Amino acid sequence: MIRRALDALYLLSGILAAGFLLTVFALMIALSAGREIGVNIPSGDDFTAWALAASSFLGLAHTFKAGDMIRVGLVLERLTGRRRQALEIFALLVSIAFIGFFAKNAVQMTWDSYRFGDTSTGVVAVPLWIPQIGYASGLIILCIAMVDELVRVAMGQRPAYEKEPPSSPEELVERIASGGGA
């Protein structure tokens, strides 16, 4: 039950990230075409920037769980058994501490923007807490995903983000060509 809810949360976060990325695309096309025909989108640059930030941060948890986040495992890849598990737990704890710190501060900033009624300075005055929700939510969901992985590893399971090593040189080349890396 919890596993399905968490996986749904990560998928929803990825879908929202994709939606915001499409929004960036649509806004940039509209802004570019608008310049050619003399039509301006008020605060279009602001909306594009906010959509890009939301896309970037909301996509973090989905990317992490899929194993597509850049990860340097030079030491971890050479270890096995309990030593690898202990180092993996340590790395996840450090990651959770950093992301938790950033998430706490992002939530605090969003809450402060709401409390103080901060608005953007562009042509269209937008309450800043609205675009900040994507930033804060993305960090919270990433932190949840990391805690989820910490529990998996502590229970002796293989991390979901860890991909099987390629079984042949051809598979390695295929992974690299498709952008998945080794």
State the Cα–Cα distance between residues 140 and 57, nearest whole angstrom: 10
Is the pLDDT at 111 greater than 70? The verdict is yes
* Lowest mean per-residue pLDDT among 3-17, 79-93, 106-120: 79-93
Q: What is the pLDDT of residue 44?
A: 85
Single-letter residue type at 9: L
Full-prediction pTM beyond 0.75? Answer: yes
Long-range contacts from 86-89, C-beta under 8 angstroms, 24+ separation: 88/153, 88/159, 89/150, 89/153, 89/154
| Banded pLDDT at 181 (limits 50, 70, 90) | low
Q: What is the pLDDT of residue 182?
A: 55
Q: What is the pLDDT of residue 163?
A: 74
Per-residue pLDDT of 36-80, as tens digits, reads: 888 888 888 899 999 999 999 999 999 988 877 666 666 777 778
Quick one: which of 35, 41, 53, 23 has its CA closest to 132? Answer: 53
Q: Domain range holding 13?
A: 2-162
Q: What is the DSSP letter of 168?
A: S
Per-residue pLDDT of 125-138, as tens digits, reads: 899 999 999 999 99
- Domain assignment present for residue 38? The answer is yes
Q: What is the pLDDT of residue 154?
A: 93
- Domain assignment present for residue 177? The answer is no
Q: What is the pLDDT of residue 130?
A: 94
User: Buried (b) or exposed (e) across 6-17, using 16+ Cβ within 10 A?
Assistant: beebbeebbebb
148 and 161 Cβ atoms separated by less than 8 Å? no
Single-letter residue type at 111: W
Tell me whether residue 27 is exposed, middle or buried, using C-beta atoms within 10 angstroms of its C-beta: 0 to 12, 13 to 18, 19 or more.
buried
Is the pLDDT at 12 greater than 70? The verdict is yes
- Domain assignment present for residue 174? The answer is no
Q: Which residue has the higher pLDDT, 149 or 66?
A: 149
Number of domains within the chain: 1
The neighbouring-strand residues paired with 127 are 119
Quick one: which of 152, 177, 158, 153 has its CA closest to 166? Answer: 177
Q: What is the pLDDT of residue 67?
A: 79
State the Cα–Cα distance between residues 139 and 157, nearest whole angstrom: 24
- Domain assignment present for residue 103? The answer is yes
Q: Name the average pLDDT for the chain.
A: 88
- Domain assignment present for residue 179? The answer is no
